[in-house]
Amino acid sequence: MQLIGYQTSNQGTHTFFGYDPATGQPAGPAYTEATSAEVDQAVTLAQQAFDPYRRLSAAARADFLEAIAEEILALGDPLLQIARTETALPEARLTGERGRTVGQLRLFAELLREGSWVQARIDHALPDRVPAPKPDLRQMLLPIGPIAVFGASNFPLAFSVAGGDTVSALAAGCPVVFKAHPAHPGTCQLVGEAIVRAANRLSLPEGVFSMVHGVSTTPGMALVEHPAVKAVAFTGSFRGGKALFDAAARRPEPIPVYAEMGSTNPVFFLPDILKERGAGLAQAYIQSLTLGVGQFCTNPGVAVLPPDQEDFANETARLLAATKGGYLLTEGIRQAYLAGIGNLTEKAAVLGAGVTDDDRQVKPVVLETSVSAALEDDHLTEEVFGPSSVLLRAESTDDLYAFARSLGGHLTATVHGTEKDLREYADLLHILQTKVGRIVLNGFPTGVEVSHAMTHGGPYPSTTDARTTSVGTKAIERFVRPVTFQDFPDFLLPEALREANPLTIWRLVDGHMKQ
C-alpha cells in the first residue's frame, strides 16, 4: 500500500511479496508496485509541502523527529517480528538496530535544537569603504526541496524508511519520498505508517513524507526523473547506485545523487602486532567479516598480510571451520554470493570455510592469494556481498605499499599495528587518507557510530559523492545549499541571521566564531 501524504493508494496491478530468507518462501501479504501516477502524486505533494515545511522552526522539525521515534517505539514487538521474518537477522541485532534508529532521530532533533548546523556567517557592512562600500552579507544553509530516498536491504530499520537518509533530509527541511526496499515491504509499511502518524499528530503539511513500493526499477526511476525531486539518497549495490547517478546526470536539470555503494574495506595487518597477538586478531577478523552474515557495507572483504605469517593464516582457517554462516537477505544476494565465491575459487585458494545449519544458509569463506596476483587481476578484490574475505599475502613491504597505492575509493581502511609498526608504516596511513572516508586503527570497520565526527562515505566507487557522509550529523549537509542575504533589514532575516542572535547559535561574524 503506497503512503501518499495522508492517504493510502493501491492503483497498480503489479504485485510482489516480501521474502523470508530462512525458508526461501514469500512472507506476508502481497504488495503492489506504485504506478507512475502514484509516484507523481507523492512528489507533487512533497513539492507543495516544501514551502510550509521549510518555513517551520527548527524546534518544530525536531518535534517531528522525536515524534517519529516515539511512534516507532510504539510499534513494539510486531515491528521486530516482521523485520525478523523478512531478514532472518537475530532479534538482538534488530533490537539494537531499532535503538540505533531511534537514537539517530533524537540526535538530529538535538542538532536542530542546538541550531549551529546552518553555518551562519555574517559580514557586516562597511558603508564608508573606498572605492566602494561593502554591503551587509549574511549566509546560511537552506533546504533544497523534495528528496528521493532509497532504502537499503541490509539494515531494515537504520538504513531504511526512518534511516539516516530520511532523517537527515527531514531535519534539513526537505520533504521525503521514500522508495521501500522490496525485500522487507512489511517492515517498511509499519515504519512508514509510523512516520505518517507522527506528521499527522503534529499537523505537518501533507506530503512531507510519502512512501512508494516497487520491485522493478520503474517506480525508482520515475522518482529520480521527476523534475520536482532535488536530490537522491541511496544505499545499495554499485550497479543500482550508478544507474541512479547516470539517470540523475541525464535529467534536463541534473541533481546530486548520494549513493553509498559499498566497498571491500581493506584491512592491513602489520608484522609487529601479529607477533604480539596474531591469534586474537584472526578471531576478531572472522567476527567482523561474519557480522550480520557479512552484510555490512563496511565488511572487511580484503585483508593484507605481511610475509611469513603462517600462524595467522592457520589460525584463521582453524577458527573459521567452527564459524556458523547464516541466511542472506534475499535470494538474489544469495545467488550472487554463491556465484562470487565460485568465481573466486577459480582464481584463489580457499583458506578456510565455515559451517551451516541447513542448505539455505551460506558458509563464511576466506580465500587467499598473493598481492601480486591481486594487482594483476582486479576481480580478485571485487566486493562479494556476504561473509567472505580475500587474504592477500604480501611478499614484501613494497608489495604492501603497491597494493595500498592501487586502491580505488573505499568507505574504510583499517590498519592493525603496534606503535612500532605504525611509526614504521606512517606512509601507509598517508596513502590511505587519499583512498577512504574513515581510517580505523586497531579495530574493525564494521560498526558505524552515529555521531558528529563519523564519515560513512568515500571516494568513487564506494560512493558517487565523496564530499559527504551518509551516517552522522554531517549527513544533513547533503540536502542544503548556502544562500546569502544582502542588505536585509533585521526583521526580514531568518532568525539564524538576525543581529541579536536570538537562537544563540555559533556564527562566523566578520571572520570570528561567536555565540
Per CB under 8 A, which of residues 481..510 are in contact with a second copy?
481-489, 492, 506, 508, 510
Q: Are 356 and 374 in contact (CB under 8 A)?
A: no
Place of cell 566507487: 461
Which phi and psi (to 5°) does residue 425 adopt? -110, 30
Active site (annotated) includes residue 495: no
Closest CA to 367 of 343, 388, 339: 388
Close Cβ partners of 512 (under 8 Å, ≥ 6 residues apart) = none
Span interacting with a second copy, options 61-69, 138-146, 200-208, 315-323, rule CB under 8 A? 138-146
Residue closer to a second copy, measured from CB, 331 or 449: 449
Start-to-end CA distance of the chain, whole Å, equals: 47
Radius of gyration, alpha carbons of the chain:
24
Among 474, 476, 501, 503, binds a second copy (CB under 8 A): 474
Shortest Cβ 264–a second copy spacing (Å) = 17
Burial 252-264 (b: 16+ CB within 10 A, else e): eeebbbbbbbbbb
Residues 254-283 that bind a second copy (CB under 8 A): 254-256
- Annotated active-site residue 260? The verdict is yes
The single residue among 433, 490, 499, 504 that binds a second copy, judged by CB under 8 A, is 433
Give min distance, CB of 375 to a second copy, in A.
Answer: 17
- Binding-site string for a second copy from residue 47 to residue 76, where x marks contact by CB under 8 A and - marks none: ---xx---x---------------------
Q: Would you state the cell numbers that stand for residue 37, as one nine-digit string?
A: 501516477
Member of 314, 466, 495, 498 binding a second copy (CB under 8 A):
466
Grid coordinates 527531514 are at which residue?
Answer: 170
Which of 197-205, 247-255, 314-322, 396-404 is the region at the interface with a second copy (rule: CB under 8 A)? 247-255
Total count of residues recorded for the chain: 515
Contact in structure between 410 and 302 (CB atoms under 8 Å):
no
Candidate segments 70-78, 250-258, 278-286, 340-348, binder of a second copy by CB under 8 A: 250-258
Residues 151, 155, 157, 158, CA torsion sign? negative
Draw the binding track, 197-236, toward a second copy (x: CB under 8 A; -: no contact): ----------------------------------------
Q: Measured from the CB atom, is 134 or 275 closer to a second copy?
A: 134
* Residue 78 interacting with a second copy (CB under 8 A): no
Q: Which of 28, 135, 240, 332 binds a second copy (CB under 8 A)?
A: 135
Report H helices in 207-330: 218-225, 238-250, 271-290, 310-320
Stretch that binds a second copy, among 38-46, 132-140, 335-343, 368-376 (CB under 8 A): 132-140
Q: Is residue 244 within 8 Å of 220, Cβ to Cβ?
A: yes
Query: Considering only residues 436-465, where is the footprint of a second copy by CB under 8 A?
Result: 436-443, 447, 449, 451-455, 457, 459-461, 464-465
With beta carbons less than 8 A apart as the criterion, state whether 163 and 152 touch: yes
Least spacing, CB of residue 505 vs a second copy, in Å: 9
Query: Distance between CA 140 and CA 450 in Å, rounded?
Result: 24
Check: CB of residue 103 under 8 Å from CB of residue 471. Answer: no
Give Cα 115 distance to the centre of its chain. 24
Query: Which residues in 80-109 contact a second copy (CB under 8 A)?
Result: 96
Q: Which of 33, 86, 206, 260 is catalytic?
A: 260
Which one of 147-155, 212-220, 243-251, 317-325 is the stretch in contact with a second copy (CB under 8 A)? 243-251
As annotated, the active-site residues are 260, 297
